[in-house]
Chains A and B, each alone.
Chain A
Amino acid sequence: MAGELTREAFAAASRFGFGVAGEADPADSPGKLIRVLRSAPVVPARLADTLSGPRIQKRWQLRQARQEMGYSRAEKKKKKPPGGKPSRKERRVNYTTDSHNRLLAAVEAPCGFFERLVSFWSNHFTVNRRKNVVKELAGPFEVEAIRPNVTKSFADLLTAAVLHPAMLVYLDQDKSVGASSAIGILRGRGLNENLGREVLELHTVGIQAAYSQDDVTSMAKVLTGWTIDSEQGKSVFDARRAEPGRFTVLGRSVTSAEDERAVDALKALAEHPATARHVARKLLLHFATDDPTDEAIGKLSGVFKESGGNLPEVYLALAEMPEVWSGFGSKARSDFEFVVSALRTAELPPAVTQKTVAGKSHTMPMTIGALADMEQAMWDAPSPAGWSQKAADWLSPVGLTQRLNWISSLVRLVPDDKALGYLDRVLGPLASANTRSVVASASNREEGLALVLASPEFNRR
């Protein structure tokens, strides 16, 4: 099958997916790329149990149980409450399981482009797992807020992401209370601007829109009321925490009722021209080039605006840009993309992918071990701005060392039958003459496999 594919199909599979390996129907045109995307499985069976509700509720129930038994906070720290002290460990286990499943979901996916988009949006709406509570909510966030909205509208995606429990915790919205709200007055609590700020700076209009501090504060006030109801295990609007009044965000007065104003404000932000530019720029930066041109941004944001943020139309316009479709090699694969792409070529059986390795402080499956060694643990971006997108950062001396070290352990696991014709299967017409000749002169099978995985063509896209 690989032998029949054009260079164009190979290039597109790398540019937009994880390479041709495992791709059920490799696209050789932008139109086909989007058609295949539309029929991609949204939540594979492997991720069906990655849900936030039951986990939030379980923590709530444990807290209730402890309170009923009359445990004070001091006692809690010393003694083991009923059921032991599971929270921290369970959250970590959930996180490790979620990461492992997410990675394998990408390895097993018939449509790589869908998974790439999930990761792109997950990075755009970064939640970081280091906050204890977020550890077991980051995986569900991706499944519940991101995946179902990848092929919908940006407004749908934005609302789902911003109001998901994981985001509300990560950016301290669950602690934000209107200072003049009922609870604000009663308990002397106040506003936390973190989410309001990041909605403007990172999720929608971006820094270039030159919003003011007042806009940030207003947005934070508009969001007040939104918090997590742990007993129900979901995000809710609680009027007692909502700051009364009318607020203006980026020149637009938010006039709807308190329980609707956050969603309305988010929808308005989704329609703001600066948002179109911000998102267009990020899509180009991720998929096409380290330095998007103003012209390209203008063109893509135009489609964004005209389509009302219809994401598949935006993706089509992106893929149709000649420099995007035919620009293979200008970007570098991130560590996550690299690991997924490599594992797709290796077709390792579950017994192998589930095998545990020693991590920095705990054991973990070899899949996650790879990401941990490369310091791109799942949902662990260094700031709300997400991971770097630049080639030089992924292929730095340190980055390359980590990749090469992992390659040398991976190639020992590749079954013999998968090693046959590896170069042709993995790179096909993408392989340069130089790469072909160097791989051909490898002294043994493992070295040959390693050189394919270390090649510029495999590390770039």
Chain B
Amino acid sequence: MISRRQLLTGGAAALFLTPGIDVSLGSAPGEKRLVVIILRGAIDGLDVVRPLGDPGFQKLRGPESVATQQLDGFFGLRSELGTLHRLFVGRQATIVHAVATPYRSRSHFEGQDVLEVGTWGGNRPDGGWLNHLSGLLEPTGPEFALDVSTGKSTILSGSRPVKNWYPELSLKLSGDSLQFLELLYREDPLLAGSLMSIKQETSGDKVNAGAGDPGVSMGDISRFVAGALAGPARLAAFSINGWDTHTRQKERLPKLLAELDMALSVLEKELGPRWQDTLVVACSEFGRTARFNGNGGTDHGTGGVLFLAGGLLAEGKGGQVLGKWPGLGESDLFEGRDLMPTSDVRSYLGASVAAMYGLSENQIANTVFPGVDLGSDQRVL
């Protein structure tokens, strides 16, 4: 029986280096929670996790300095991510730099698809990696996996049941009308399924304040997720949009980072003691160009950044900036323009979930992230 400590401390690496060890399949996820935040639009890793110790950085980005907090003597973190920094210092957050999926064509649409289905190059799988992961775990029920979006997000689409919800929604129809709707939809599986989800979530006496509601905020979403994770949910995904800073990056990033930081802060607070058993990952489809363009912004790039946070990191590699820094010299850039990706973001995600749930390398590479190499030259959590 491998202890939790072993699993998390480089023990995950040991798991994959030692042949023959196969942790039992589908072991109960028990109390572990996983939250995936998709930062849509391609966040500029270089601007947010700044390689201050690399002389090339100032050459590329200019001398303008921004308030940062030290991470490890080489990298600095923009101060807007105050919660993340506090967690980092407390060894409950970790950052991986210069990562990317195997995808190289810089299209948001495709890049996000790759990030969500978990593979590129072969046949596109049916559904997202988080749905496939849920298939390997012992579900607590139909609300085990939660997709917080107004439609079905790719990362959780697939054959395993997923609950799709958005905070503050409730139905105005009476119980009688609901019964009629059940009859109306009995020959339409899609509508019947959606109606069933609605019925589970609403009760007849819930009053909807209607169109006068204020807009849903990141705080609302995070609170909602934490609430669900206190109940039957164990996997959750939501998005933060707007990272595509082709122009006025200096003016636009602070507000975006504040959203991300708010999400982490609310999750930590609302999860309470369950934070110790939680892993939050925030990832993006790719990074951005190393140089600014003509409009005070950056264009689509390649190598980017991955954030991890949660109590589960404390016994592993919390409080570190991982990855292999490629440098920022002209010949170090990818295609002469982007931060060079030196590791596959999926190997960190894959190793993390393998360690959390006691899954084998085969299970990850066959089912969750097809084709991923969790090999020994990648540092894992």
State the A residues within 8 Å of B (CB). 172, 175-177, 179, 184, 189-194, 197, 201, 207, 213, 357-361, 369, 372-373, 375, 382-383, 385, 388, 390-402, 404-405, 408-409, 432, 434-435, 438, 441-443, 447, 450-451, 454-456, 459
Interface-side segment among B74-82, B103-111, B305-313, B317-325: B103-111
Closest-CB distance, A296 to chain B (whole angstroms): 20
Cβ–Cβ contact A392 & B190, under 8 A = yes
Q: A405, B247: Cβ atoms under 8 Å?
A: no
Contact of A396 with B184 in the complex, beta carbons under 8 Å: no
- Among A175, A394, A401, contact of B171 (Cβ-Cβ < 8 Å): A401
CB <8 Å contact, B190 and A395 = yes
The reply to whether B110 and A207 form a contact with Cβ atoms under 8 Å apart is: yes
Q: Please provide the chain B residues from 238 to 268 with a CB less than 8 Å away from any CB of chain A in the complex.
A: 241, 246-247
Using CB atoms, name the residue of chain A closest to B190: A395
A443 lies within 8 A of B176 (CB)? yes
CA distance A391 to B188 in the complex (A): 12
Q: Name 8 extra pairs, CB < 8 A, besides A177-B294, A398-B166, A434-B187.
A: A175-B295, A197-B107, A397-B201, A404-B181, A408-B173, A438-B180, A443-B176, A454-B184
Interface residues of B: mostly helix, strand, loop or mixed? loop
Closest to B186 in A: A434
Among B241, B293, B335, contact of A192 (Cβ-Cβ < 8 Å)? B293
Whether A189 pairs with B213 at a CB distance below 8 angstroms is no
Partner of B169 from A398, A435, A455 at Cβ < 8 Å: A398
| Nearest CB of A to B110, in Å | 6
Q: Are B185 and A397 in contact (CB under 8 A)?
A: no
A to B CB contacts below 8 Å, 23 in the list: A176-B294, A177-B294, A190-B293, A192-B293, A192-B299, A194-B246, A201-B107, A357-B211, A359-B211, A375-B150, A396-B150, A397-B194, A398-B166, A401-B169, A401-B170, A401-B202, A404-B172, A405-B172, A408-B173, A435-B184, A443-B176, A451-B181, A456-B185
Q: List, in ascending order, chain B residues with CB within 8 A of A441's CB.
A: 180
Most buried by A among B165, B185, B211, B300: B211
Q: Which residues of A contact B194 (CB under 8 A)?
A: 395-397, 399-400
The answer to whether B71 has its CB under 8 Å from any CB of chain A is no
The interface residues of chain B lying within 8 Å CB-to-CB of A395 are: 190-191, 194
In the complex, the chain A residue whose C-beta lies closest to that of B153 is A393
* Least CB distance, B122 to chain A, in whole angstroms: 16
Partner of B211, one of A197, A372, A443, A455: A372
In the complex the two chains form, what is the Cα distance from A194 to B187 in whole Å? 46
Tell whether A450 pairs with B177 under 8 Å between CB atoms, given A359-B211, A438-B184, A456-B188: yes
When distances are taken between beta carbons in the complex, the residues of chain B under 8 Å from A408 are: 172-173, 177
| Interchain CB contact under 8 A, A456 and B295 | no
Query: Given A358-B212, A359-B211, A385-B109, A398 and B151 touching (CB < 8 A)?
Result: yes
Taking the closest CB of chain A, its distance from the CB of B9, in whole angstroms, is 41
CA distance A372 to B191 in the complex (A): 22
B107 touches A398 (CB 8 A): no
* A173 to B85 CA separation, bound complex (whole angstroms): 38
Q: Determine the main DSSP class of A at the interface with B.
A: helix
What is the minimal beta-carbon distance from B332 to any residue of chain A, in angstroms? Answer: 18
Q: Which residues B203-249 have CB closer than 8 A to chain A?
A: 208, 210-215, 241, 246-247
Q: Taking A189-B294, A383-B109, A392-B190 as contacts, is the C-beta distance between A172 and B151 under 8 angstroms?
A: no
A271 → chain B, closest Cβ, in Å? 23
Does B183 sit at the interface, judged by CB under 8 A? yes
Bound Cα distance A382, B211 (Å):
21
Cα–Cα distance between A369 and B212 once the two chains are bound (Å) = 10
Which residues 284-312 of B sit at the A interface, judged by CB distance below 8 A? 293-295, 299-300
Are the CB atoms of A172 and B247 closer together than 8 Å?
Answer: yes
Closest Cβ of chain B to A375, distance in Å, is 6
Inter-subunit contact A459/B164 (CB<8 Å): no
Shortest CB-to-CB span from A23 to chain B, Å, is 25
The smallest C-beta distance from B150 to any residue of chain A, in angstroms, reads 5
The docked-state distance in angstroms from the alpha carbon of A402 to that of B176 is 18
Q: Number of residue pairs across A and B with beta carbons under 8 Å? A: 143
Across-interface contacts of A391 in B (CB, < 8 A): 190
Option from B177, B184, B211 in Cβ contact (under 8 Å) with A369: B211
Tell me how many residues of B have a C-beta within 8 Å of chain A.
Answer: 52
For B269, the chain A residues whose CB sits under 8 A away are none
Is the C-beta of B89 less than 8 angstroms from some C-beta in chain A?
A: no
Chain A residues whose CB sits within 8 angstroms of the CB of B107 once the complex forms: 197, 201, 207
Q: Does B137 contact A (CB under 8 A)?
A: no
Q: Which residue in B165, B186, B335 is a CB contact (below 8 Å) of A397? A: B165
Q: How far is the CB of A231 from chain B (nearest CB, A)?
A: 22
| Contact of B198 with A397 in the complex, beta carbons under 8 Å | yes
Contact A213 B212 (CB under 8 A): no
Query: How many angstroms between the C-alpha atoms of A390 and B151 in the bound complex?
Result: 10
Residues of A within 8 A of B105 (CB): 207
In contact, B294 and A191 (Cβ under 8 angstroms)? yes
B69 at the interface (CB under 8 A from A): no
Residues of B within 8 A of A392 (CB): 151-152, 190
Q: Given A369-B211, A392-B152, are A451 and B293 neighbors across the interface (CB < 8 Å)?
A: no
Cβ contact within 8 Å between B190 and A172: no
A443 to chain B, nearest CB (A): 7
On chain A, the residues within 8 Å of B208 by CB distance are 405
A358 and chain B: residue at smallest CB distance: B212
Q: Which A residues touch B149, using CB under 8 A?
A: 398
A residues less than 8 Å from B177 (CB atoms)? 408, 447, 450
Contact A399 B151 (CB under 8 A): yes
Closest 7 CB pairs of A and B: A190-B294, A397-B197, A393-B151, A456-B188, A400-B194, A397-B194, A175-B295
Known A175-B295, A400-B198; judge A456-B191 contact (CB<8 A). yes
Contact B172 A455 (CB under 8 A): no
Query: In the bound complex, how far is the Cα of B214 from the Cα of A207, in angstroms?
Result: 38
Shortest Cβ distance from B204 into chain A, in angstroms? Answer: 13
With A191-B294, A360-B214, A405-B208 given, is the CB distance from A397 to B187 under 8 Å?
no
Is the CB–CB distance between B184 and A456 below 8 Å?
yes
Taking a contact as CB atoms closer than 8 A, the residue among A190, A447, A456 that contacts B180 in the complex is A447
Q: How far is the CA of A175 from the CA of B248 in the complex (A)?
A: 11
Specify the chain A residue showing the minimal Cβ separation from B215.
Answer: A360
Closest to B337 in A: A213
Candidate in B109, B186, B295 with the most chain A CB atoms within 10 angstroms:
B295
Instruction: Let me know if B183 and A438 touch, CB within 8 A.
Output: yes
Contacts of B333 in A (CB 8 A): none
Which A-chain residue is minimally distant from B241 (CB atoms)? A382
Contacts of A456 in B (CB 8 A): 184-185, 187-188, 191
**Shortest CB–CB separation between residue A357 and chain B, in angstroms?**
6
Query: Is there contact, CB below 8 Å, between B110 and A398?
Result: no
CA distance A201 to B169 in the complex (A): 35
> How many whole Å from B55's CB to the nearest CB in chain A?
23
Instruction: Give CA–CA (A238, B327) in the complex, Å.
Output: 40
